[in-house]
Amino acid sequence: MRIKLSSVMVDDQAKALAFYTGILGFRKKQDVPMGGARWLTVVAPDDIDGVELLLEPIGFDFARTYQKALYDAGVPITAFQVDHIESEYQRLSREGVVFRAAPEKLEGGPTTAVFEDTCGNLIQIFQV
């Protein structure tokens, strides 16, 4: 068993695709129309056959409630590993990404930072 697909709920797939590819640097892998939405995935640019992230449209009121509750509580919906967190923090900040705080070393753990993805979520980046 292995992880091949994960998802993040987004309030607007077009806006999410622009952010996740244009700002974060992921590559679009799949874009298949599915009724009023799309099966829309992105992957790491250097691992086209790696784990796909589904930019999943919020289709239910309870999902919106869950997303907002996580956001309001400051809880990231997912996390992405980076090689150099300080340089990623600087690069994303220059792109206008809103961070909740500068990178911080967790006691006994990785260095982390949390930012807003413009689609209703908080995302954590970390460096081990």
Decide if 89 contacts 97 (C-beta within 8 A): no
Domains in the chain, please, with CATH? Answer: 5-127 (3.10.180.10)
Q: Read off the DSSP letter of residue 35.
A: T
How many CB atoms are closer than 10 A to CB 4? 9
Task: Please report where in the chains the tokens 């460096």 appear, as a residue.
Answer: 127
Helices (H) and strands (E) in the chain, counts: 3, 8
Q: Cα separation of 57 and 67, whole Å?
A: 12
Confidence of residue 116 (pLDDT cuts 50, 70, 90): very high
Q: Cα separation of 26 and 41, whole Å?
A: 10
Mean pLDDT of 110-124: 98
Confidence of residue 22 (pLDDT cuts 50, 70, 90): very high
Q: Cα separation of 125 and 89, whole Å?
A: 9
Whole-number pLDDT of residue 25:
98
Whole-number pLDDT of residue 81:
98
Whole-number pLDDT of residue 23:
98
Whole-number pLDDT of residue 113:
98
Q: Minimal CA–CA distance to 16: which of 73, 86, 67, 72? A: 67
Confidence of residue 105 (pLDDT cuts 50, 70, 90): very high
Whole-number pLDDT of residue 68:
97
Whole-number pLDDT of residue 45:
97
